[in-house]
Amino acid sequence: MIDLLGRSGNLSEAKQLLDQMDVEPDATVWKSLLGACRMHKELEMGEMAAKELFELEPKNSMPYVMLSNLYSAAGRWEDAAKIRKLMKCRGISKEPGSSWTQANGKTHTFVSEDRSHPMMARIYSKIDEVIALIKEAGYVPDMSFVLHDMEREGKELGLAYHSEKLALAFGLLVVPSGAVIRIYKNLRVCGDCHTAFKYISSLYDRHIVLRDSNCFHHFVDGKCSCGDYW
């Protein structure tokens, strides 16, 4: 119920239900609330949920990362930096994000701003083409998913070269038209990449399947099977 209320944006009702529970809320309950706060950008309640998780699962990086992302989205860069410093002090490390796809019997893996792939010049050229095309269709880079304070141009480039976008650009180059492009990511897909994938599925008429750490996302005709909640 807390998850359902959170998904629908009724966060105050979710918190009220949580407070009325006969048993002490466990980590799963607080994660559901924190996930809803992340999606609806509810910072104050997100802080509370994250701090509960710091106590319940002190070595889990997820609440630290989510709270840092909430601070970044709100433009509170100093607070975001403090959370990253706290992680370092406590010896907690975030798993580096990577995405991979298969083509011609081989697995091709990418990390953010990767330059190691033998086709990287063509991949980056494809990314630039894709970003220009989806911008014409209405896509606006979501700066709230940039985790460090920097100039706007730097933020846009950082978003454009996320690992899942690089994997998708590679897929557009090598996967035959009409075939499904399948991508896997070890972490949750970021919101900006999720929006971009919807535009790309429509403009390039491709069925894209992205399996992130939380669920399968099927992008078809500009829509995602997750209903924009994951």
Q: Tens of pLDDT along 76-111?
A: 989 999 999 999 999 998 888 899 999 989 999 999
Q: What is the pTM of this model?
A: 0.78
Query: Which residue reads 């930096």 in tokens?
Result: 81
Query: Which residue reads 């990287």 in tokens?
Result: 120
- The tens digit of pLDDT for each residue in 10-60 reads 999 999 999 999 999 999 999 999 989 988 989 999 999 999 999 999 999
145, pLDDT greater than 90: no
149, pLDDT greater than 50: no
Half-sphere exposure of 88 (CA within 13 A, CB side): 6
Q: What is the mean pLDDT of residues 168-172?
A: 98
Q: Distance between CA atoms of 206 and 143, rounded to whole angstroms?
A: 26
- Strands 181-185 and 208-211 come out as parallel
* Mean pLDDT, all residues of the chain: 91
Q: What is the mean pLDDT of residues 154-162?
A: 72
Query: Residue 21 has what pLDDT?
Result: 92
Give the list of residues 6+ apart from residue 75 with CB closer than 8 angstroms, or none.
Answer: none
Do the beta carbons of residue 44 and residue 12 sit within 8 Å?
no
Query: Residue 117 has what pLDDT?
Result: 95
- The tens digit of pLDDT for each residue in 120-141 reads 999 999 999 999 999 999 999 8
Do the beta carbons of residue 224 and residue 194 sit within 8 Å?
yes
Query: Residue 72 has what pLDDT?
Result: 85
* Residue 20, φ and ψ in degrees, nearest 5: -90, 0
Do the beta carbons of residue 37 and residue 11 sit within 8 Å?
yes
224, pLDDT greater than 80: yes
Question: In the chain, what percentage of residues exceed pLDDT 70?
Answer: 93
- Which tokens hold the place of 44? 């104050």
184, pLDDT greater than 90: yes
- Which tokens hold the place of 25? 């809320």
Q: What is the mean pLDDT of residues 178-206?
A: 95
213, pLDDT greater than 80: yes
Cα angle 206, 208, 214 (rounded to 5 degrees) comes to 165
Q: Distance between CA atoms of 70 and 213, rounded to whole angstroms?
A: 19
